Amino acid sequence: MVWSFAPEQLQDPDKVTEYLKGKCCGDSKETQLTALCWALATIYQTLLDSRQHHQGEERENRPTGTAAAQAPATGTAAEPKDQPIPVSVTPIHKKKYTRKSVRLVKDDDEPGPSREQEEEPEPEVITRSPSLSELRDMRKDFSRLPGEHIITWLLRYWDNGASSLELEGREAKQLGSLSREGGIDKAIGKKAQTLSLWRGSLSSLRERYPFSEDVVCRPGKWTTMESDIQYLRELAVREMVYYDPDNAQLPTDPDEVQCTRPMWRKFVRSAPSSYAYSLAVID
């Protein structure tokens, strides 16, 4: 199902609710949940584009020089007080860690030293241990902040590029206490095989808390479009903690996790009262 929203359409939550109900009417519950998740993502992107366009116009219309802004002349039409205000949202930025490797080859019929081969697959990857300065940067990017909720930390962990950083257990141990929980950090450091820091942390959290009821997302109500998208992503991360690690068909990206009925109910319960009823009707 393709969604298309105009920025002015999103200023009235009641109209948005009626529009969503009309589009999803007659579909199965699972189809409704999937369609609604796509709708929320489309709304988020529309608001972001609107905000960026608004900021671009402000920069273009900003006067240059030292002339002070003049007060509006009397007798002119005043701006309407109920003019909609664009919603401020922050785009998601993800870091990417990469490892470089070089394979040297030598032509059979050409004497001389080996040369570097370009644009060919590399059958062997030569890795090295991270330097002290790299370890410091990793600690800064991946350490859990004081008072930060465990799932909020894991989501920031993902956004900072933990999935692209592969470490052995002894290398991960050199990062020190990342999670601020001894049981989790110890499990990360004892991994014998080379894993991405993301996968190692998910499995270590699952070892520390084997029952999903022991891991809850941060309490409280979301109040902005940015915070409700953040909460949905945190619910997806919690879902991934208890995925079967041997099932290659399951998504490895939190943003690709399908919204389940329990996830949706948690999301509805965290909604402000002005939205809770409209969202509950879709369940």
pTM value is 0.54
Q: Does residue 59 form part of some domain?
A: no
Q: 229: domain range? A: 133-272
Residues 253 and 267: their CA atoms lie apart, in Å, by 19
Tokens read off for 155: 């989501």
The more confidently predicted of residues 141 and 280 is 141
Is 204 contained in some domain?
yes
Mean pLDDT of 52-74: 52
Q: List the beta strands (DSSP E) in the chain.
A: 104-105, 115-116, 166-167, 195-196
Question: Taking the mean position of all CA atoms in its chain, how far away is CA 282?
Answer: 25
CA–CA gap between residue 150 and residue 46 (Å, rounded): 30
Q: Can you tell me the mean pLDDT for 80-104?
A: 45
The reply to whether 197 falls in a domain is: yes
Q: List C-alpha distances in Å: 71 to 10, 65, 76.
A: 32, 17, 11
Examine the pLDDT at 202 and tell me if it is beyond 80: yes
Q: Which of 64, 89, 30, 31 is nearest to 223 (CA)?
A: 89
pLDDT in tens, 107-118: 455 555 544 445
The tally of domains found in the chain comes to: 1
Q: Using the 8-state DSSP alphabet, how is residue 116 labeled?
A: E
Q: How far apart are CA 59 and CA 55, in angstroms?
A: 6
- Residue the block writes with tokens 């109040």: 223
71 domain-assigned: no
Q: What is the pLDDT of residue 220?
A: 73
Residue 250 lies in a domain: yes
Please, what's the b/e burial string for 61-77 (b: 16 or more CB within 10 A of its CB; e: otherwise)?
A: eeeeeeeeeeeeeeeee
Question: Is 247 within the bounds of a domain?
Answer: yes
Number of H helices, E strands in the chain: 10, 4
How far, in Å, CA of 283 to CA of 239, rounded? 19
